[in-house]
Amino acid sequence: MKTYDKFFVGGRWLASKGRTLADVVNPASEKVIGRIAMGNADDVAGAVEAASAAFDGWANTPPAERAAWLMKIQAELQTRAEEIAQLISAEVGTPIEFSRVAQAGLPIGSFGIAAQLLSDYAFSETVGNSEVVREPVGVVACITPWNYPLHQIAAKVAPALAAGCTVVLKPSEVAPLNAFLLAEVIESVGLPAGVFNLVCGVGSVVGEALARHSKVDMVSFTGSTRAGKRVAELASQTVKRVALELGGKSANILLDDADFSRAIPGSIQACYQNAGQTCTAHTRLLVSEARYEEAAALAAEAARQVRMGDPLAADTNLGPLVSEMQRERVRGFIEKGIEEGAELLAGGAEPPEDLPVGYYVKPTVFGRVTSNMTIAREEIFGPVLSILTYRDEDDAVRIANDSVYGLGGGVWSADVESAKRVARRIRTGQVEINGGGFNLMAPFGGYKQSGNGRELGKFGFEEYLEYKSMQMPQR
């Protein structure tokens, strides 16, 4: 068990000015696997000063050199890929095979992509008598969640560093050990002091101190919509840039010509991935009334085929929820669904009898759900699928858009053009067509209360740049 009582600030490991340690708990075993210092506003102040002092030098480092640093980080992360996967499976409960692909593979990819973007990015262009240049926004506070911890860190830190910004990272205190691993990697490759800084703590202390700090030029936040609103409120006092990636309640529309033998298992996977602790999880399954009985039977059977258990077992595809609090929250939603009259097709709120230890929730499917039910409106963040019925295509789109969120979604159809037509009408930042896979180069973010700004690829990279127009004398 590791104890981290120091933060990485200004290129050194400095003792936290906070006086408390927090346990990091393995959600499968319920055992403490690490401890971290819980910082305070003084820790934040020191980290921001270090980032501010390092900014000018880093911003003026040639892009090719910044790319070389990013490639060094990527290479070192690659050598520790299995360690990262094992660590995050222990912190979050993600099944190990998925951890290797997503929890380790995606962040490694993000650092490489950020480096590649610098090879041919046009930081200046001529517009009439003006030279328009792109410059780094400044000191960036990156506040990240626990569900895909290192992936979300890399999706912010890598493009911010590529753009020439300096960074203060506040990872989730629920799953922070991977952030310390990244800091160790950054120290080992010798990144200039102050370019990357790490401070831990709760959002109400460390997160809020970062959001309100006058020398933080931008906050990039991923988390709940409630917390995102608070970040935006505090950041507005210094008129800093804010990028928010928040909650979701994604709808997956199965058109009548879809192959349900493929679409239903794909829909279950899109809902239950990472135990449903995915902001883009397809938690609302929309089918026509004519095909409801078929869909309900297939979904219930697919849920019963899910292998729940030890995240480190190769055949497990559903692990525990991240914490006891999260488990009880999800069970409360399941009970609410039953109370409000939804048809329980599979699973339920009772603890799984064969898993007495660990924060497990049975893979659950509800049928005959209506849009006014709590389980159809609230982000549950657990393995709970709600099946709703629609009358026709227009009704399906209406139901899909009947949400304060707009992050993800899906459409299944035998005709891709029909699916794309419907996808264009869904008010969300991304839509999967017939189970289309995740793309690290495509923009990621949401409409409505799912946030603003985009991450990943060149779109995420440009979030960390400002425009400057230099007007030349006209001849």
Residues 266 and 182 in one domain: no
Please list the active-site residues: 245, 279
3-state secondary structure 394-420: HHHHHHHHCCCEECCEEEECCCHHHHH
Asked if 179 contacts 59 with a C-beta cutoff of 8 angstroms, the reply is no
353 within domain boundaries: yes
Contacts of 47 (CB under 8 A, 6+ apart): 7, 9, 10, 168, 197, 198, 199
Per DSSP, helices labelled H in 103-224 are 105-117, 149-163, 177-189, 208-212
At 475, the pLDDT band (50, 70, 90 cuts) reads confident
Q: What are phi and psi of 98, to 5 degrees?
A: -70, -35
Q: How far is CA 141 from CA 84, 156, 202, in A?
A: 23, 9, 14
Please tell me the total count of domains within the chain: 2
3-state secondary structure 180-207: HHHHHHHHHHCCCCCCEEECCCCHHHHH
Q: What integer pLDDT is reported at residue 44 of this predicted model?
A: 98
CA atoms of 251 and 408, how far apart (whole Å): 7
Mapped onto helix, strand or coil, the DSSP state of residue 32 is: strand
pLDDT digits (tens, 9 = 90+) for 58-110: 999 999 999 999 999 999 999 999 999 999 999 999 999 999 999 999 999 99
Asked if 408 contacts 448 with a C-beta cutoff of 8 angstroms, the reply is no
460 within domain boundaries: yes
Length of the chain: 475
CA dihedral sign, ordered 139, 140, 141, 146? negative
Residues 123 and 229 in one domain: yes
pLDDT digits (tens, 9 = 90+) for 256-315: 999 999 999 999 999 999 999 999 999 999 999 999 999 999 999 999 999 999 999 999
Residues 10 and 68 in one domain: yes
User: What residues are paired with 38 via a beta bridge?
Assistant: 20
CA atoms of 128 and 474, how far apart (whole Å): 9
Exposure string for 188-204, b = 16+ CB within 10 A, e = fewer:
ebebebbbbbbbbbebe
Residues 149 and 240 in one domain: yes
Residues 294 and 435 in one domain: yes
Q: At residue 10, what is the residue type?
A: G
133 within domain boundaries: yes
445 within domain boundaries: no
Whether the pLDDT of residue 474 is over 90: the answer is no
Asked if 8 contacts 197 with a C-beta cutoff of 8 angstroms, the reply is yes
Q: What integer pLDDT is reported at residue 134 of this predicted model?
A: 98
463 within domain boundaries: yes
Residues 242 and 272 in one domain: no
Q: How far is CA 268 from CA 147, 296, 299, 303, in A?
A: 18, 12, 7, 7
CA atoms of 194 and 26, how far apart (whole Å): 32
What integer is the mean pLDDT of 108-137?
97
Q: What integer pLDDT is reported at residue 1 of this predicted model?
A: 87
99 within domain boundaries: yes
What integer is the mean pLDDT of 157-182?
98
What percentage of residues in the chain have a pLDDT greater than 70?
A: 100
CATH number at residue 137: 3.40.605.10
Asked if 249 contacts 373 with a C-beta cutoff of 8 angstroms, the reply is no
Helix axis angle, 177-189 relative to 81-92, nearest 10°? 160
pLDDT digits (tens, 9 = 90+) for 27-63: 999 999 999 999 999 999 999 999 999 999 999 999 9
What integer is the mean pLDDT of 317-328?
98
43 within domain boundaries: yes
What percentage of residues in the chain have a pLDDT greater than 90?
A: 99
Residues 228 and 276 in one domain: no
19 within domain boundaries: yes
CATH number at residue 363: 3.40.309.10
Contacts of 238 (CB under 8 A, 6+ apart): 212, 213, 214, 216
Residues 431 and 461 in one domain: no
Residues 236 and 329 in one domain: no
pLDDT digits (tens, 9 = 90+) for 186-204: 999 999 999 999 999 999 9
3-state secondary structure 280-307: CCCCEEEEEHHHHHHHHHHHHHHHHCCC
DSSP annotation string for 253-273: EE-TTS-HHHHHHHHHHHHHG
Residues 363 and 224 in one domain: no
Q: What are phi and psi of 438, to 5 degrees?
A: -65, 140
What the block records as the tokens of 220 is 């990039």
- Provide the residue range defining the domain that includes 343: 251-440
Residues 218 and 316 in one domain: no
Q: How far is CA 400 from CA 49, 248, 288, 409, 435, in A?
A: 45, 12, 13, 8, 17
Q: What integer pLDDT is reported at residue 41 of this predicted model?
A: 97
Residues 77 and 158 in one domain: yes
What integer is the mean pLDDT of 382-410?
98
Q: What integer pLDDT is reported at residue 198 of this predicted model?
A: 98
Q: At residue 5, what is the residue type?
A: D
